[in-house]
Structure 1
Amino acid sequence: MEYNIFKLLVDNIPQPIWIKDIDLKFVYVNEEYENIHKGVNKKFIGLKDEEIFDGAINNECYRYCNLVISSLKPITEECYLGGIHRKITIIPLINNNGEIEAIAGIYVNLDIINEKDKIIEEQENILKVVMETLPGMVFYKDKDGKYVYVNKEFDEFYNREGIGKSIGKTNFDIHSSEELALKYTKEDNEVIKNKQSICVQTVVNSKNGEKIYTEAVKVPVIDKNNEAVGVVGLILDITEKKEAEEQLKHVSFTDILTGLYNRTYFEEKAKELLSEEYLPVGVIMGDANGLKLVNDTLGHNEGDELLKLIAQVLSDVCNAGQLIFRTGGDEYVILIPNTTDYECENIIKRIFKQCENYKHDLIDVSVSLGASLTDNINKSIYDALKEAEDKVYRQKLLQKNSFNSSVMYSLQAGLQTKSLETEEHTDRVVNYCLIIGERLSLPMSVMDELTIVAKLHDIGKIGISEEILLKEGNLTDEEFEVVKTHTEKGYRIVKASNQLDNIAKGVLTHHERWDGNGYPLKLSREGIPLIARIVSIADAYDSMTNNHLYKKVFNKDDAIEELQRCSGKQFDPDIVRIFTEYLSETQVCV
């Protein structure tokens, strides 16, 4: 059994093997040995070399065998057997008593090995030529991060950087930037750990200060045990490609007329900035004032000039971190990462101020602006933009020569024709409201809302009969109930525009009382919108201090005393205090 296993093993070894006794007679040859001597036509077992081979082979083998028997030590020699260059190893087979019982020999065909070495050398030469002619820098690092091979271009690049030869060095030896060395080392370790290729881009600062954009493909080197033993990399200089991409990107993201970013880029940044690291994000929306007038009177070329002037104003005010877009015909948007309401309002004020430094042939350069914040990822940039747009719409109502303002002024004119409301009364109420708003430090958007409510607070009287509005003497209870409906009628008129929701609520509630006994909703205290509380006091004061056909006229002091008497009952006490302090400070009778 043991012999069969031994024979099975040795017969499957691809090298020729024989065993001879101490008389040098063959006692065993494997199949490969028989194969290389097919032309002998003799059985080997029991025969000596001289009985099988010619004199030259016989003498050479005899000498080697006797040397092993006499020395009891193995030998390895090169020789030519059968015209083939071989390496023969002969070993003594010694028993447990230290006595030699036989010798064994194994042949290796050196011609095959040399041929393989030649092929390997040729392949290495071809590979080297390929590496040297590849368009890029090629390297091989071992798993310890040392450079084992670099091509000519790699060496030339780092020679220019004053590094010298790279072989045997690590990332930290050839890169002056520790940050860069750490980056490369992290990438190499990732490739070795995961046994997967990666493609990475890096910006390298050259010795003369130029930025070089590179793209590297890093591939793991896997041995026969499936272990990663190193990293092969190809680094390409993609600076020109990157610059071309940036130019193309700039063109595709830029509004041709103004040079600002366009709507396409806005869409991209709106998604990118909705991230915790950028919140809160301020959204300022702007709309050019008077563009239609310029287009209709001077032509679209002049209209384009106006748009460019406004773009220049925005660029003058905003810094590099504040992105300016032209998103439509006359619409602009500014996105401001990591900001506050205060900063957004400050930017709007500076834009208004900067507009004064630019002139157009027909009209003043101006823009209506509104701002909003998105301070959590559940509120999109578009949600904030809608809020800002509503504020712009409200501001447009206050701009002269705009279509929106003409609608509002038409409503006011209709009211003045139908009732005793005068333009002067409206202007005074607006002025008082703005004084109170400034003393309360209200933001601009709220001041705009306050102005519009002050202008339109009695607009619902358009829906009430002139017979009641102009009636001399006291109204009946039924007639007074009809007059009280003007708040609801005004609410419905203003509510027709979904951008005036807060204003509609202000119109609806400007006759509510602090003590809850007003109309139409019986609201009280802070439950009444702030805008309505302010308008209520301003309207009451002007009604008391100016000529009215059917009521006694108060002087300033009496009117102040009346406001204070009603403080905490009809009116908000804090607003009464603020307004009466102002009135007391004012020398001229208002």
Structure 2
Amino acid sequence: MLKIVTIINDLMEKNRIKSYLAKAKNELPEFEFELSKEFEDYRHALNFLYQDEPIDILIIEDFNRDNFEGLDFIMLAAKEFPESSLILTYSASKELDLSSYKITNLAAILSKSSGYKNFKNIILFTLLKHQAKNAKIMAEQQKLTDYRTIIDHTHDAIFLLEIDCDNNFYYKRINETHYNLTGLKAENVIGKTTAEIFGEAVAAQMEENYQRCVEQKRKINYTEEIEFPGGKRVFQTALYPVIKQGEVKEIVGASKDITELESWQAELEYFKQRDKLTGLYNEEYFNNYLPKVIELKNLPLVVIVIDIVGFNLLNKLFSTTQANSILEQTAAIAADLSRENEVAARVSSNQFALVLKKRSIREFKVIMAELKARLAAVKIAGIPIDFAVVGEVKLAKLPAAKKFYANLMDKLKLEKYNYRHTANSRFCQGVLESIAASKYKLIGHGPKLIERATMFAAHFELNRSEKEKFILLAKYHDIGKLGLDQNILKKGDLLTALEWEEYQHHIERSANFISHFYDLTDIFQLVYHHHEYYDGSGYPDCLQGIKIPYLNRIFSILDFYDAVSSNIFYPFLQGRYFFAELNKQQIAGELKKYQGSIFDPRLVDKFVEKVLPEI
């Protein structure tokens, strides 16, 4: 019984061919044939053809599916199923040029417009041809073709080794993938020993695994790296013994190319150990490394920890890009002071550590001095940074790594605490000097701000403690404006809703700055509430009336007075700004205008009637 399979996507064409086959079967009773299977796409057809018994006739429609056309399938079928006769059906409107195709088993080309008589003649001719063939031979040949197809189209490099009586290994066959991966042509491999192909040294390494397979008489797996004409490759290889009469006579090998995977794993391992921003070793690596490195052979061992004091403050006061630049500069200094076999690591968001092997106490002192000098030059927006730097030289095996590092961190805490006082903080002093150098323009004020604060303290009869807080409030209240887009502070026009929202955030930044220094604790609430309005419409907490601290109610008048008398851009409210110096009469008028809404009415009266005329 000859088998016919159709691969036709067009339903009308499918039904036409099916009816023609049924009619031909009735008219040609001397031939035994059947329509075994119908497919509408190439993929399912291929799955069937590879897995089923050989098919005698394939009737294929020339259609396009996933950029795969009938001619493509014909070419594939011509190669993979040479014993099958191929009949191609095509649309009469389509021009077919088969002059460049060599398809030996193409029986006929059938136009979709051709009639039954033409179809019958083609089927008759094809049936006669197939009747003359030996079905058993054809089936065996088809099997061999299928096996060859499977082997040649796998992604693994497959090879067959033959073993002679002297235990020499000869290559008997390789598949197409083997050539593609190794660059070794079949004619240069088949019949040769591993030594003849790869040389004695590489052959010895390879034959050790082959011999293991022979001795154990079972499948073995291993990874190998071999230099081929196509380049160095890394393979995961499996060897399968072919046992005949109790002896291993042949070995089938399958090698999966894992060169790129090995490279990816090496790269992944590198990045698992590294900090993404700075490129230094990360915290996890450092924590695993330190206990291992504290051994007698590495002594004396120097461990240094660097802490960027108040890094979170830098992040909030300045841009992320500027803060990250500080991290990168610090990392570069740490890396530069470590040798190739030593470790520089980022151990937390704002801390770095150095582990230096076999360094003397004298070297330690020199490194510490250089480190501190170079860190002193690191600045953000021209302002120096506070760095707490501590280090120890470990001369003996004890204490253990955990205790040793804990002692170092205790020293670091004390060192960091020292910078929490404004007088000891290079960063705080740098900020104040930068503001003063700008004559307070950096924070949207005039050059007489502190002088006027002192004067207000006197006129409003503040006691000593209140006066100190009031002057500190004047000095620090708008320090958060350093983190604003300077285009907002210089706009000279009404702020947009987004700009006004951003402008209001300077309060939070100022309060964050204050909270960092323990000697400024007393003015935290004053700084945080210096934009509360008397009628409760201010920010951030909408405090109203006497719930607003007394010093804040006085300061709101000073804040306004200093801004409008200094000829600077002053975004007073979202819908109101000043950009020119006002005279006393105008200032009094504006204060009266907002008396009871923005400002404390009693304090406005006192200022306008008693203070303003005298200043």
TM-score normalised over the length of structure 1? 0.38
Larger radius of gyration: 1
TM-score normalised over the length of structure 2? 0.37
